[in-house]
Chains A and B, each alone.
Chain A
């Protein structure tokens, strides 16, 4: 009799257990499916964010963001494609050039360019991308020979389109007698040299690089500095460079380039 009761109790326990297992199996299986999805989502999102925020995040597990980060980190060989300068009221965006009068400071006084389209502030001379789209690193973009046309306008047009300044066009090139431009990105900060950056104007070349080809940084010449978005390659580069010699001796050019870097 006791044996029969024990068997019935066992049978009930087993039945409950089986039922319970059967009912709970859906929950367990749901949990098992959800976990990999969350992990996958985490794996997909986290490295992109890391790459966007921290360009030194090398040990990512996914390959695509790692490639993006690597493109805009370290020595950057390619073209810093510039966005054309624009004036909207008092706001100037894109790439431009300004010239500080001899004896001035980085804050001016600036020379007004009567040919500037910036009606509000003609001290801004706007730059538009040339045939190469902008400044190339790791190679030169020399001026053509001759560098001026019959009317005295400079003709180099690889980096930017010639810009009218005081009725005469100036143009930009990188001097082959110097090292080619080199820029490096570290955690979104840009630095390097553009020592061969040369403006051609009024029949003569004017070095506007930083540092100067001899490595010096005279007067208001400042380091090349800027930022680059490690995720998109959007950059801003600035420097200033004293003109040494020639008709504009002791004047200083201020260069502001912005756009998107295109690796080669």
Chain B
């Protein structure tokens, strides 16, 4: 019976050690780590506020282009609505697509904003590439101590070590604040799931093209055309459309900020899928607690069975070989 308990503890240890291989953690966890690192620059309040500011700026310019610039040009009788759309297709495309773009991009920024705290919690966990080893190392230690205990007749101390290892495994999640952090990671993964798919990323890439083409055509063609119609200088025309001018003035900054974010999203679609394929983050603390409790419990039980009654010798008939038992009894 006592031997069976130790064998069971060894089994739990081996299970813990091989769990990362079963869950493909050695390949998936580093991808998660890479993603966490690459997303860091975009998961700040400052960046979120900047993105919101850009969206508001584009919104103002789009409204101005549709309600003032376009009206001024079409109202000049030089070209009609259809002619405007044909002559300035990129601006017309921006006007048509902006409601969709604004909704989707706002949702994206909201998602980032909502998960900043969750991200910080996950980023504060030990490095992802080390995750598999948090299972492998204690698992192998438990298995090794258990095997040693099985091989020794007097194994009380080894059983105590085994119990201590079990307790350490139980305490590890608490030490790394996993109970608080891991569920936040799970929440972030759930929230990012609709965002981190190839189609969504390609949509965002398309938005970038629509915005860039629209801004460029406003700057290079539409505003100069309006100036020509109004007999204004380009500078005077620019001041007539302040929101568009503001957008053009900051466009490079917008590109410099948005492009890396789109790049990070695009580059980590597969990495996100790898992390998403791992067991839920919420379960991770229990992957330590349950085996830890089992190992500690089994070791303590085995130790108790080895403690002799008063006047009895400590002879473990399940783990000692027959010669040793005979020798022990002769000595008695």
Contacts and interface: CB of A to CB of B under 8 A. Distances in A.
A103 B90 CA distance: 20
Interface stretch (A10-18, A106-114, A134-142, A223-231): A106-114
Given A204-B259, A246-B263, A247-B260, A167 B213 contact: no
A101 B213 CA distance: 13
Nearest to A249: B266
B283 interface: no
A182 interface: no
A202 interface: yes
Contact of A167 (B202, B209, B221, B255): B255
A168 B221 contact: no
Contacts of B217: 114
Interface string B66-109: 00000000000000000000000010000000000000000000
A151 B251 CA distance: 10
A245 interface: yes
A101 B21 CA distance: 40
Interface in A202-240: 202-204
B216 A113 contact: yes
B205 interface: yes
Interface string B201-212: 110011011001
B212 A152 contact: no
Contacts of B255: 152, 166-168, 202
Contacts of B252: 151-153, 167-168
A19 interface: no
B213 A166 contact: yes
A251 B259 CA distance: 14
Contacts of B90: 112, 114
Contacts, number: 80
B291 to A, nearest CB: 39
Contacts of A249: 201, 205, 263, 266-267
B256 interface: yes
A170 to B, nearest CB: 11
A166 B266 contact: no
B210 to A, nearest CB: 10
B262 interface: yes
Nearest to A201: B259
A153 B90 CA distance: 23
B319 interface: no
B269 to A, nearest CB: 9
Interface in A233-264: 245-251
A245 B209 contact: no
B266 A247 contact: yes
A165 to B, nearest CB: 8
B215 interface: yes
Q: Top 4 closest A-B pairs, CB basis?
A: A114-B216, A166-B212, A202-B259, A246-B263
Interface of A: 101-103, 111-115, 151-153, 166-168, 201-204, 245-251
Interface of B: 90, 201-202, 205-206, 208-209, 212-213, 215-217, 219-221, 248, 251-253, 255-256, 258-260, 262-263, 266-267
10 contacts: A102-B202, A102-B205, A168-B252, A203-B259, A204-B263, A246-B263, A247-B259, A247-B263, A249-B263, A251-B205
